[in-house]
Structure 1
Amino acid sequence: MFETDLTELPTADLLASAAEQRAEANRREASLLEHALVYADRHHPDTCPPRPGRSSWQGRERAVVLGGDGCPEVAEFAAAEFGAVLGISAGAAANLIGQALALRHRLPFTLARVRSGDATPWRACRIATACLTLSEEAAALVDKQVAAVVDSVTPERLEKIVKAAKWRADPDAARAEAEQKARERGVYVGRSDEHGTKRVYIRAASGDVIRFDASIASIAEALKILGDTDTLPHRRAKAIGIIADPVYTEELLRQARAQLLNQTNPGPEPAPQAAPAPRPGPGPEARPGPDPGREPEPGRELQPEHGPEPEHGPEPAFGPELEPDDEADRDAPHPSHSDLPDPLDTPTGAPGEPGWPGQRVDPDAADPDAGEPLDAAAQRAFDARLAQIKRDAHATHGTHAAHGAAPASGAGRAAGGRMRPGQTEIYVHLTDHTLATGDGILRVEGLGPLLASQLAELVGHGPYVVKPVIDLNDAIGVDCYEIPDRVRERVKLIHPVEQFPYGTRETDRAMDLDHIRPYDPLGPPGQTGTENLAPLRRYAHRVKTFGRWKVRRLDRKTLEWTTPHGYRFHVTPTGTHPVTDPTPDP
């Protein structure tokens, strides 16, 4: 890779070499933008070669504008092949082409600095994306204001400068955007992280959020009463799983209240006795301490008037995941720009707002009486108690006289008035070693890898049913065009991710299952089966059907895709693998 052994370079020369490598990388990124521009020009609807049935109806290819107002149209399927040869998804390739077009047609001063080496290409592309919704005239005003500072300020400052320039260039659009943001409400769930946790972002009416927060706080307090010694934030997180089952929530709160009443009113109190007078201490600073033989007052806990100084120093930082500039899943569309809202548009916290994600919380101050986590035996006992509470809830719901008249029968109720808890189906993939030992790594669809020890947390305390394992080695099929659920489920398990080159979407019930060999009503039996179906998102399905791409199955788990210009890719369970072809089609 390097002609010179880097370990032999003096530090000054090493730094100079690193700077040159960065400059060379910037030149290559700028060259890639130029390639994207030429490629887009060759795929303008008026210049690209005709294709059969080039109309926008029934899923055929359309002309799209990728870079914003003022940019030329591009053939919709062009991004698929461009992305494949770059090793990125079609969506990422469309973004790259759109950014290049926006720089040329909407931000010429910024593009000029990129071409001269005075602006980093990725920063310029970020400006192009930020101005996507602006008119061509407003984008030109932003271009004049920010082109000179693309590389002279930090990315965070650049983002603020661009935002201010956008507002000055189009104040009406800025006000409309602010009003739209104020109107947006919803509950957004982010992707799972590497530790099996998710984030939920709620934007709703203030009163509803306050009541929801109070319910979460009540459940967290109930867990504490029942014996949970976790910190308050952890108990509040557990409350999210409990509140999803209203019947369980009601019973847990009821039993916690009953236990609290029993603790605060254990029986008749003994006759009061005169407390001994405190003996004088050794100095003026001495204060009477609590009597070790006296019971604390009901509902109160003894706190030393002068306890030891806290061992912690300044308020701890939660880490980069809570910083406003590090929005997880940043590539997700924002509510103002798409029908799919950004799942993690996490706001920063304001001082004095307890529990808000951006606030730096002192764990000791937030929950001073939180002890250490339960040991293994105590945790098993506590989990067993929660499981019993859940069983009690669904076994008795609707049968107590305190609940009033018997509830009407309907879906979700079992015989005798019992209500069945909501059911959730999860798919867990694990090895025989993990199954036998209970130790190792497993994969949960929709979540990703988890430790085997985290499976109990995922399943929860309620009853669960282990379904028979499906032998995926058995190929099944039907003769009709429609896909039955049992075939769809097997295809989903065999191919957990879409089978288009560099596809990113996980297979779910909403994804298209495409016949690799087109279905022939007069053809052989079993055409709709696990051997002839592949999960594809709708865009990839349309590209395969109308975009001159070719696909064939090499074996049970491998598809070979060929692009319109002859580039080949093998899609397997291990990902997408380019096939070396020295003579691609012209």
Structure 2
Amino acid sequence: MIEALAGPQAGGVDDLTASDLLALARDRKAAEDRAAADLLVVAARWADLHPPESIHDAAAFAVPGCEHEEPIAGQGAPLVAEFCLAELGAVLGVSTTAAKKLVGHALELRHRLPRLWGQVQAGRVPAWRARSVAEVTIHTSPTLTVEAAAFVDAQVAAVAGRVGPAQLDRLVAETIKRFHLADVDPTQDPEDGYLHVDPRHATIHSDDVHYAGTMRLEAELDIADALDLDRALAHGAETLKALGSDASLGVRRSAALGDLARTQTALDLHTQGATGIRDADGLPAAREVVLHAHFDATLDGLTTVFGPTGRMEEGQRLVLLDQLRSWCGDSRTRVTIKPVIDLNADLSTPAYEVPDRIREQVILRDRTCVFPWCTRPARGCDIDHVDEYDHHADAEGRPQPGPTRTSNLAALCRFHHRLKTHTAWRYQMTEPGTFEWTSPHGHHYRRDRHGTTAVDQAEPPCPPDIPRPRRP
């Protein structure tokens, strides 16, 4: 009975006993783990089908920017033709980068961590745990050799993958010493070997934005640096309190950290008496940080419990109007207000180069790279002619098939621009800001301002042995 239930829609879950619900939860979790293990097999097999030799023009042409072999796992794992990753990511509903990571983990496990791979396929180790180990062994510095990776594999497999991040770091450090992968100071205490895996970092979690307009910072600092930072934050918090702030200590310390980010880089110049642009207090201007915030001119747009809300291009996150007002009120903030751009206007130019006014319009319309599930900000993307611009059309008296106009331009990151130019991926703009993509295997996707949607089932693919004509 439990196996037949697909969820609340089946109409029987509400009638299950506590024991039945626990059994159902266990079965569903086991099915999820099995599916994740199977997905690793699929990813590895997908890589097998797309070795560097599968690149049609690899032996015939040297096309700048064309497809090349992609090392995505450690030493000893096979290479993969890079453009195949986009098709896999699209059908999984993830970015090409996420697909690259999935295939890399699968190859790392199958070829360099075979014991752990076997335990995943036997259901003794969940796929997510094995992938966390593969992520470390792929990116360890110095690089782990095949023998060193095998040592890590044996140690991790012996405990069925149950190692935490700190234990894994120590194991990798021990492996680096054991296989002489890095020069080690002979006077160093062997117990301090884990220091070869430097834990220091400062990470801004830009994907974890609170609706209050805050973002989480996580850091691991040198002891001296940490103590100095603590004193600086304590001093900044007390300064804000003396200036009349009635915020809590935590809020004032947070604000003090922001003040450090805006002004600390200029203090050395100030104490050395350097010349340059200075504010009224005599300090050099802080390092400039450019943010692009967009608010409805009537302020009738999205409103949260925290107040009127706009959109910031950086990270595609929300920003509160009150925050913007506070930034503008800072004497060290330079504010530039640009004129409103009509995103529905079809701007054009007879030239191939895209002028700034059209580029800005496309950036604001598309927001990100328009390839399915890609989230790279449009401001750092190329502006692509959807229909290719013909540089000889005017000279030969033919109409231009790919004019430089808003209705024929789209933002594509460099990788997906190359993908569109040199593979059978095709797309068209069905309306301003809405694009329909067709993959080499016949899958269709619609990308608009709300994201990406898989449109329908795949059509039969084109014969694989007939290469698409390519430009020399």
Q: Residues 313-364 of structure 1, C-alpha deviation per residue, up to 9 Å, x if partnerless?
A: xxxxxxxxxxxxxxxxxxxxxxxxxxxxxxxxxxxxxxxxxxxxxxxxxxxx
> Which residue of structure 2 lines up, in the alignment, with residue 461 of structure 1?
330
Structure 1 position 193 matched with structure 2 position 209? yes
Equivalent residue in structure 2 for 1:513, among 342, 364, 383: 383
In the other structure, the counterpart of 1:500 is 371
CA–CA separation in structure 2 for the residues paired with 1:179 and 1:57: 45
Instruction: Report the alpha carbon displacement of residue 61 of structure 1 after superposing the two structures with TM.
Output: 0.9
Distance in 2, matches of 1:480 and 1:187, equals 45
Separation of aligned partners in 1, 2:326 and 2:440: 48
Tell me which residue corresponds to 2:445. 569
- Uncovered stretches (5+) of structure 2, i.e. residues with no partner: 1-5, 185-192, 394-399, 463-472
What is the CA-CA distance between 1:188 and the residue it aligns to?
A: 6.0
Instruction: Select 2:68's aligned residue among 53, 62, 69.
Output: 62
Q: CA deviation at 1:213?
A: 5.8
Q: Is the 8 A contact 1:54 1:61 kept in 2?
A: no
Maintained 8 Å contact 2:173/2:194: no
Task: Tell me whether 1:471 sits opposite 2:339 in the alignment.
Answer: no
In the alignment, the residues of structure 2 paired with residue 105 and residue 436 of structure 1 have an alpha-carbon distance, to the nearest angstrom, of 53
The one-letter code of the counterpart of 2:34 is: R
Corresponding letter in the other structure for 1:450 = V
- Inter-partner Cα distance in structure 1 for 2:286 and 2:113: 57
Matches of 1:567 and 1:495 in 2, distance apart? 22
1:442 lines up with 2:442 in the alignment: no
The alpha carbon displacement at 1:173 in A equals: 4.0
Aligned residues, how many? 423
Structure 1 547/160 Cα, relative in aligned 2: closer, same or farther at 3 Å?
same
| Residue 505 to residue 178, structure 1, CA distance change in 2 (3 Å) | farther
- Matched AA of 1:429: H
Q: Return the alpha-carbon distance in structure 2 between the equivalents of residues 165 and 434 of structure 1.
A: 55
* Root mean square deviation of aligned Cα: 3.8
8 Å CA contact retained: 1:167, 1:173? no
Q: For 1:532-547, what aligned pairs fall within 5 Å after superposition? A: 532-547=408-423
Residue 237 of structure 1 aligns to which amino acid in structure 2?
A: S
Does the residue aligned with 1:117 lie in a helix, a strand or coil?
coil
Point out the more displaced range, 566-575 or 515-524.
515-524
- Structure 1 Cα separation of the partners of residues 170 and 289 of structure 2: 46
Distance 2:175 2:259 in 1: 49
**Structure-1 residue corresponding to 2:121:** 115
Matching residue within 409, 412, 430 for 2:295: 430
Inter-partner Cα distance in structure 2 for 1:53 and 1:515: 28
Task: Determine the C-alpha separation between the residues in 2 that align with 1:559 and 1:238.
Answer: 42
1:413 and 1:528 map into 2 onto residues whose CA distance is: 43
SS at match of 1:500: coil
Counterpart selection for 2:150 from 140, 143, 156: 140
TM-score (norm 1): 0.63
Residue 331 of structure 1: aligned partner: none
Match of 1:149 in 2: 159
Partner of 1:92: 98
After TM superposition, give the deviation of residue 21 of structure 1 in Å. 1.1
Q: Select the residue among 362, 383, 392 that pairs with 1:522.
A: 392
Extract unaligned runs of 5+ from structure 1. 251-397
The structure having more radius of gyration, on CA atoms, is 1
Distance 1:528 1:558, change over 3 A: same
- Residue 310 of structure 1 corresponds to none
The answer as to 2:43 corresponding to 1:36 is yes
Counterparts in 2 of 1:54 and 1:37: CA distance versus 1, 3 Å: farther
Paired letter, 1:446:
E
**CA distance, structure 2, for counterparts of residue 119 and residue 437 of structure 1:** 45
Q: Is the 8 A contact 2:302 2:310 kept in 1?
A: no
| Structure-1 separation of matches of 2:365 and 2:258 | 30
Q: 2:419 matched to 1:550?
A: no
How far apart in 2 are the matches of 1:159 and 1:421?
38
Q: Deviations over 1:51-79 (max 9, x none)?
A: 47876762111112222111111111111
Match of 1:284? Answer: none
Q: Matched residue of 1:59: which SS?
A: coil
Identity of aligned pairs, percent? 34
After superposition, the Cα gap between the structure-2 partners of 1:190 and 1:459, relative to the gap in structure 1 and judged at 3 Å, is: farther
Q: Is the 8 A contact 1:434 1:452 kept in 2?
A: no
Q: Provide the C-alpha distance between the structure 2 equivalents of 1:224 and 1:188, rounded to a whole number of angstroms.
A: 28
Shift, 1:525, TM fit = 9.7
> What is the correspondence of 1:327-476 to structure 2 with a 5 Å cutoff?
425-431=290-296, 434-435=299-300, 439-446=307-314, 448-462=317-331, 464-476=335-347
Deviation at 1:230, TM superposition (A): 2.1
Q: CA deviation at 1:500?
A: 0.8
